[in-house]
Amino acid sequence: MNLIASRISAWAFSLLWAIALGIQNPADLLQAQTSNLRDVKRDLSLPPLLQEQPSPGKRVQQTTNGYDATTVYHVLFLPHNWQPHRSYPILVEYAGNGNYANALGDVSTGKPEDCRIGYGLSGGEDCIWLVLPYLKKKDGGSFENCLQWWGDIAETKRYCSNTIEEVCSLYGGDRQRIVLCGFSRGAIGCNYFGLHDDDISELWCAFFCHSHYDGVRSWPYSDSDRASAIERLKRLRGRPQWISHEGSVAEIETYLRQIEIDGVRVADSCTFETIPFANHSAEWLFCDLPQRQQARKWLRRVLADANTRPTKH
């Protein structure tokens, strides 16, 4: 009886919380809390990780030139329909924090090879998928992949820019159509890192943020406060953002609808989507769900719109 009472109490609290946030159908939140994404059939699976040269349909581990003496690495996937001398959008992805697991069976290692968003969004077609690491300095002065939070932002930025340039030069990546994607830490990083300064913010035509968002709450690192996050948002300048969250996206939407920059509401360029499962995971993109259909539709639209924007210098 104590267990039943505990669950009823939790559901009642969630219902009140949903109403307070203005969720139109609070029952959806209650349903999400009892639904496990692991019970949904996948129609995608990650290609094996290979130590080979890139080629169509292969997911390979690489290290960017200049970092050969380090243990830093990233993951590159060329789409199944890749052809030389053609141009392709790039989905650049960053992982969530490592050493995370929960009672639903969700796990986040923080490693590039365990990311999902880019492959789920594209279905392995039409887009180059590039999963990059955050970098941190080792005791000996060399660098390695950072599995929790941000490490060395300046070095991460350098690795990011250099790797994207290699992918554009060698594999036809389109500099006008680069979408920054992230789950959890990576979702926060879409703004915290992706809008960190004027140089890095110019790389992206759009942002895909799943589960958490910069500025909604404070985290254990400097400049995670709301005022600092709004300063970063000033660099968004109307570019589209997909923003989703498990259970409910209302907290993030409420936050962004309160922010105006130069007389324009930030939320006006955002697409908000609730993922109807309790799982802290990007696995929903590997399932044939209405939410994935909407995400792919959003991607097609922002990539088409990117072609009409002024050329980056």
Structure tokens at 135: 């970098």
Number of structural domains the chain divides into: 2
The pLDDT of residue 141 is 86
Domain CATH for 188: 3.40.50.1820
Together in a domain, 127 and 219: yes
The pLDDT of residue 35 is 84
Structure tokens at 100: 């995370």
How far apart CA 151 and CA 189 sit, in angstroms, is 12
Helix ranges (H only) for the chain are 2-21, 26-33, 117-122, 153-171, 185-192, 198-201, 226-233, 250-257, 290-306
Note whether residue 250 is domain-resident: yes
Which run of H or E residues covers position 229?
Answer: helix 226-233
The pLDDT of residue 2 is 43
Backbone angles phi, psi at 187, to 5 degrees: -70, -45
Together in a domain, 89 and 228: yes
The pLDDT of residue 146 is 98
The pLDDT of residue 307 is 79
Together in a domain, 134 and 228: yes
Together in a domain, 217 and 295: yes
Cβ within 8 Å of residue 260, ≥6 positions away? 266
Distances, alpha carbon 227 to alpha carbons 70, 118, 222, 263, in Å? 36, 30, 12, 17
How far apart CA 28 and CA 49 sit, in angstroms, is 37
The pLDDT of residue 20 is 43
Task: State how far Cα 193 lies from the chain centre.
Answer: 12
Beta bridge pairs of residue 93: 131, 181
Together in a domain, 111 and 238: yes
Note whether residue 30 is domain-resident: no
Together in a domain, 6 and 95: no
The pLDDT of residue 69 is 94
Backbone angles phi, psi at 71, to 5 degrees: -100, 10
The pLDDT of residue 5 is 41
How far apart CA 131 and CA 160 sit, in angstroms, is 10
Cβ within 8 Å of residue 297, ≥6 positions away? none
How far apart CA 14 and CA 6 sit, in angstroms, is 12
| Per-residue pLDDT of the chain in tens (313 residues, 90 and over written 9) | 343 443 333 344 444 444 444 444 555 554 555 689 999 999 999 999 999 999 999 999 999 999 999 999 999 999 999 999 999 999 999 999 999 999 999 999 999 999 999 999 999 999 999 999 999 999 888 999 999 999 999 999 999 999 999 999 999 999 999 999 999 999 999 999 999 999 999 999 999 999 999 999 999 999 999 999 999 999 999 999 999 999 999 999 999 999 999 999 999 999 999 999 999 999 999 999 999 999 999 999 999 999 776 655 4
Domain, as residue range, for 13: 1-25
Cβ–Cβ under 8 Å, residues 59 and 47: yes
Together in a domain, 136 and 227: yes
Together in a domain, 65 and 7: no
